[in-house]
Structures are given as structure tokens and as C-alpha cells.
Amino acid sequence: MSLIIKDLSARVKDGAQILNGINLEIPKGEVHAIMGPNGSGKSTLSKVLCGHPDYEVTGGSAELDGQDLLAMSVDERSRAGLFLAFQYPVEVPGVTNANFMRAALQARMPKGETVDAVDFYKTMRNKMAALGMDTKFTARAVNEGFSGGEKKRNDILQMMMLEPSYAILDETDSGLDVDALRIVSDGVNAMRAPFRSFLVITHYKRLLDYIKPDVVHVLYKGRIVRTAGYEMVEHIEKNGFDFLKSEE
């Protein structure tokens, strides 16, 4: 069981080609990291996997536990177990965090069953407490007026509520203060399990010191150009991406 991406290419609809044949296999239970310079296509890859309408797949395939991911609608992909914590979480005015999460959980219930409100609020409050979030955030509109760090935490809260089998974290560390970084990483580590994998996108070693990856990939100009172990993180932290110049 794994997420298998083969020769995946994509472009902005009616625009530039961004992904140029991505190959990636993430088995269940593993944590993979993706690093790479700004603009190399990391966020695009994660959004293409979720089915963002801005992009058009121009070739290749993606399989989630043997199912054709690219044939599914955006919401089906989520219910099939894929989750993306966004680099820039979106504000949704007028929809409370609680209603949002309840609708997402309801969509996962068998026909004819409804989410139990008492259990739901209890679970949500516990997870918020674990993330150091004030419970008043349940009644606030999704991400509206949240600080940068609060938005990131809110996305992680959603991940903890939805318990996906494949979670992509796109620069979740950016905007988090030192304590929040530790709290969020603890939350992620607590979710590590043989039936779940993570794809962690980041620019910094400090996150990967908390969430130790099994494999590290380097994405450059829309392709995976290196796949290595943790030593790659240290190399990039010390020397930057100069070594990629040979890829020109």
C-alpha cells in the first residue's frame, strides 16, 4: 500500500509547464521530505495531487493504494485518505471551524448515520488543546483573521480530526513560533503509524529535526533530481542548492 507517482507532468491551465515527470513512491508508514528552491514546483505537486482546478495534468499517473487518484474528484481524493496542509490556508468567511469540520466528518459517515455532536465537540476540543489552540476558534469563521501561525495550526487540527492515511504538509513550519513548531511536530509524530505516511515539504532542517524523515527528495525545475537520506538535509542546510547547478 503506497502513494505511487509516475512520470507526473502538469502545467498551469493555458500556461507554463511546471511539473516535468515526477517519480515518487511513498509506502505506508514512512515519512518522506521534499526540499527544493523557491518556485521549483513543490506546492504545485501537492495541489495537483489534490486536484486543484488551476492545473492540468499533461502526463503520467498517481495511484493511492491502488486507486487511480487522478480520476477522482477533489472531495473523493480526500475521502480516499489524502490530506494537504496548505502553504497558504484559505479564509472562508461565515463558515465556522466547527461546521466546516463537522461537514467534512459527516461526508465520511456511512449512509444514514450522522456525526454525534457531543463526541464531535469533545474530540475537537481535545485536539485543539493538544495544539495549544483556544476553544473559541471552534466558533470563528475558518481562518478568517487568523494570524499566519494560527492558520497553520488550524490546518494541522483538520489533519488530526480527519486522520488521513497520506498527509502532505506544505511548509507547515513557516509562520510557526518556536513553541508552536514543537507542539505541531509532536502532534504529527503522535500520528505516525504503520498505516499512515507523510510527505513533508520544507526549506528548513529544524522541522526535520523534529519530524525525522525516512527519505529526502530534492525537487528542482519540476523534477525529483535527488533522493537520499537525512544527510541530504544537513548538506542543504550547510551548502544550499548550489550543487543543483550541474542540473542546468
Q: Which of 43, 138, 143, 172 binds Mg ion (CB under 5 A)?
A: 43
SS3 228: strand
Binding mask 61-90 for another protein (x = CB under 8 A): ------------xxx-xxx----x-x--xx
The yes or no reply on residue 42 touching ligand ATP (CB under 6 A) is yes
Q: How far apart are CA 74 and CA 82, in angstroms?
A: 10
Contact 33, 88 (CB under 8 A): no
Mask for 176-205, x = binds another protein (CB under 8 A): ------------------------------
- Residue among 92, 115, 130, 225 that touches another protein (CB under 8 A): 92
Per-residue cell: 227: 533522493
Q: How many CB atoms lie within 10 A of CB 57?
A: 16
Selected range binding Mg ion among 9-17, 61-69, 82-90, 150-158, rule: CB under 5 A: 82-90
Nearer to ligand ATP, 17 or 126 (CB): 17
DSSP percent split of the chain into helix, strand, coil, nearest 5: 40, 30, 30
Q: Cα–Cα distance between 162 and 176 in angstroms, integer?
A: 22
Q: Minimal CA–CA distance to 53: which of 35, 77, 37? A: 77
Q: Is 111 in the site for another protein (CB under 8 A)?
A: no
Residue 233 C-beta: closest distance to ligand ATP, Å:
15
From the list 16, 38, 53, 178, which residue makes contact with another protein (rule: CB under 8 A)? 53
The set of cell numbers assigned to 82 is: 489524502
CB atoms within 10 A of CB 43: 19
Q: Cα-Cα-Cα-Cα dihedral of 29, 30, 31, 33, to 10°? A: -150
Binder to ligand ATP among 87, 138, 185, 202 (CB under 6 A)?
87
> Which residues in this chain contact another protein in the complex, by CB under 8 A?
50-54, 73-75, 77-79, 84, 86, 89-95, 99-101, 103-104, 107-108, 141-142, 158, 162
> Which residues in this chain contact ligand ATP in the complex, by CB under 6 A?
12, 15, 18, 36, 38-44, 54, 87
